């Protein structure tokens, strides 16, 4: 360790913008999800701000000198308004200007943030930081793989690390790697050179299953080689109309640019060759519910249906009632649903109180194709204020919540849009999932690790609704590159 302690500033601004979503994202969305002023970051990490607690730890051990900046995250939604983006960006830029001399700047970013005045917010932020601090300061950043990584982002970065896993359970590891490599760069122990390869495809890539599971293990082995500092896979985010949409391979080599380029291409070609087998098998709403009904008859554990597109983590409301209505029509028993975003219905349940029967209209209030509102006389089973579900070490706010019961269905209603990250979404609202036959949740894949031990089968339901889940039909205006599956052979 060098005797000169690196002077480090850190900040985190993150969200994932669904440019097709009708929900807008403004400062109140950041404040409702997560907003920590400098030095106010909680001791627990969030998905994109895991650098904070790790850096604090290094500061405690007297290995660095730390200046903490702002950290904020908004639950994914539609375009950020320009006022909000300018405010957040300038807040961080002013903090850097006032931080005195710095050696390293570390950022916890997502990489799919788009505002109505900027279609590459991360590049805009990093570019402005570079202009302030000059070329000698090291800038490192962590990203989510559901991002659009442009050359403009990479141009001004020394280090980039990206969650390898989806579910992103390795966010702390990713932050640790970014800090380690940035400090080594400062100490002149390495000379990082970043290469990127455009894989020209978009799909979903869960890493808890093959072929991605094997591919990630292979990459981790390659990372152990001398001169290979880091390898990242960008999955891309199909709901963000960005010129840079799509999968990429990013490698960081120590000095060796030639190998970095060839390795990025080699891994990219391998990923492209697997493109048709990467996404999980998906079923229509009707087939998914029928399948669950059949399977649940012979299973001691409940069958899980994941409503993968009505996932607030992808920028939609998370209030679709399509699967619930199918369950009612098919007269399914012992069903639990987590959750439906409906602040008004939650308020009414809280006003009524536990154990009361009320007439309630809930769900499907944000769009015309989310199944339609459900009107029922329901029992308010449990109410709870400021509920947080766990995702690894991170705490995700559900806001005030309630569980309701009718026709042998139990449904969780919440006020802060959030996907189902863990079984907490049921247990904290008094629902015993072991007593259920079928669980319906809103999440693409982050639910997996928590739910897997408690369910017999997982059915991925592709419910057509408000999410732009078919790249061939999405009306992209900014995406000009050819990518699969829009083009069968995008490299021609």
Q: How many CB atoms lie within 10 A of CB 95?
A: 17
Residue with tokens 């079984």: 423
Q: Distance between CA atoms of 330 and 290, rounded to whole angstroms?
A: 8
**CA 434 from centroid of its chain's CA atoms:** 28
| Of 203 and 400, CB closest to Zn ion | 203
User: Could you give the angle at the alpha carbon of 159 between the alpha carbons of 156 and 160, nearest 5°?
Assistant: 95
In this complex, which beta carbon is closest to Zn ion, that of residue 144 or of residue 410? 144
Q: How far is the CB of 31 from Zn ion (least distance, A)?
A: 22
Contact string (CB under 5 A) for Zn ion, positions 97-136, x = contact:
----------------------------------------
C-alpha span between 206 and 434 (Å, rounded)? 26
Q: Write the interaction track for Zn ion spanning residues 336-375; mark x where CB under 5 A is met and - where it is not.
A: ----------------------------------------
Residue closer to Zn ion (CB basis): 365 or 446: 446
Q: How far apart are CA 406 and CA 423, in angstroms?
A: 21
Residue whose C-beta lies closest to Zn ion? 146
CB of 431 to Zn ion, least distance (A): 27
Judged by CB, which is closer to Zn ion: 177, or 405? 177
Q: How far is the CB of 16 from Zn ion (least distance, A)?
A: 7
Least distance to Zn ion from the beta carbon of 444, Å?
Answer: 9
User: Of the two residues 146 and 293, which places its CB atom closer to Zn ion in the complex?
Assistant: 146
CB of 144 to Zn ion, least distance (A): 4
Q: Nearest Cα to 252, choosing from 192, 185, 177?
A: 192
* Whole-number Cα distances in Å, 393 to 169, 172, 298, 302: 9, 9, 35, 26
**110 versus 436: smaller Cβ distance to Zn ion:** 110
Nearer to Zn ion, 122 or 254 (CB): 122
Residue spans of beta strands (DSSP E) within 89-186: 104-109, 138-143, 159-162
Size of the site for Zn ion (CB under 5 A): 2
Contact 183, 189 (CB under 8 A): no
393: left (phi over 0), alpha (psi -120 to 50) or beta: alpha
For residue 316, the SS3 value is coil
- CA 247, CA 483: separation in Å to the nearest integer? 9
Where in 133-152 is the site for Zn ion (CB under 5 A)?
Answer: 144, 146
C-beta of 146 vs 382, nearer to Zn ion: 146
Least distance in angstroms from the C-beta of 163 to Zn ion: 7
CB 302 → Zn ion: shortest distance, Å?
A: 26
What lies within 8 Å, CB to CB, of 354 at 6+ separation is 380, 381, 382, 383
Least spacing, CB of residue 155 vs Zn ion, in Å: 23
Judged by beta carbon, residue 206 or residue 302, the one nearer Zn ion is 206
Angle among Cα 451, 289, 461 to the nearest 5 degrees reads: 60
Query: Three-state DSSP class for 78?
Result: coil
Pairing assessment for the beta strands 65-73 and 34-36 based on DSSP bridges: antiparallel
Q: How far is the CB of 157 from Zn ion (least distance, A)?
A: 19
**Which chain residues interact with Zn ion by CB under 5 A?**
144, 146
């Amino acid at each position: 360790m060098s005797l000169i302690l690196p002077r480090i500033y850190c900040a985190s601004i993150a969200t994932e913008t669904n440019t097709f979503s009708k929900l807008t994202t403004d400062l109140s969305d950041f404040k409702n999800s997560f907003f920590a002023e400098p030095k106010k970051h909680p001791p627990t990490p969030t998905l994109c701000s895991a650098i904070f607690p790790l850096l604090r730890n290094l500061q405690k051990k007297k290995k660095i000198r730390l200046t903490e900046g702002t950290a904020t995250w908004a639950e994914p939604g539609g375009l950020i308004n320009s006022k909000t983006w300018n405010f957040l960006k300038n807040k961080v830029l002013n903090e850097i200007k006032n931080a005195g001399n710095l050696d390293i700047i570390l950022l916890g970013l997502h990489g799919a943030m788009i505002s109505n005045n900027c279609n590459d917010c991360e590049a805009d932020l990093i570019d402005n930081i570079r202009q302030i601090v000059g070329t000698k300061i090291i800038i490192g950043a962590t990203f989510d793989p559901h991002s659009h990584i442009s050359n403009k982002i990479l141009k001004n970065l020394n280090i980039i690390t990206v969650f390898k896993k989806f579910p992103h359970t390795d966010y702390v590891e990713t932050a640790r790697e970014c800090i380690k490599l940035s400090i080594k760069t400062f100490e002149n122990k390495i000379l990082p050179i970043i290469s990127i390869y455009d894989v020209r495809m978009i799909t979903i890539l869960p890493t808890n299953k093959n072929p991605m599971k094997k591919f990630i293990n292979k990459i981790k082995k390659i990372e152990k080689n001398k001169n290979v500092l880091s390898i990242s896979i960008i999955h891309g985010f199909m709901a963000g109309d960005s010129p840079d949409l799509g999968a990429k391979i990013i490698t960081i080599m120590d000095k060796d640019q030639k190998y970095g380029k060839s390795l990025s291409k080699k891994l990219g070609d391998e990923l492209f060759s697997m493109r048709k087998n990467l996404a999980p098998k998906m079923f229509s709403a009707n087939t998914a519910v029928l399948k669950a009904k059949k399977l649940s008859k012979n299973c001691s554990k409940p069958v899980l249906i994941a409503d993968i597109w009505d996932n607030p983590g992808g920028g939609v409301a998370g209030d679709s009632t399509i699967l619930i209505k199918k369950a009612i029509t098919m007269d399914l028993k012992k069903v639990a649903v987590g959750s439906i975003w409906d602040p008004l219905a939650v308020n009414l349940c809280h006003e009524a109180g536990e154990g009361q029967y009320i007439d309630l209209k809930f769900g499907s209030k944000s769009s015309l194709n989310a199944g339609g509102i459900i009107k029922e006389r329901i029992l308010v089973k449990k109410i709870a204020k400021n509920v947080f579900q766990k995702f690894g070490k991170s705490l995700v706010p559900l806001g005030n919540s309630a569980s309701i019961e009718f026709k042998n269905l139990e449904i969780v209603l919440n006020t802060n849009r959030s996907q189902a990250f863990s079984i907490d979404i049921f247990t904290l609202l008094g629902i015993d999932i072991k007593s259920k036959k079928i669980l319906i949740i809103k999440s693409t894949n982050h639910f997996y690790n928590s739910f897997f031990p408690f369910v017999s089968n997982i059915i991925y339901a592709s419910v057509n609704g408000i999410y732009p889940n078919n790249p061939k039909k999405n009306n992209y205006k900014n995406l000009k590159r050819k990518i699969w599956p829009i083009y069968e052979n995008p490299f021609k």
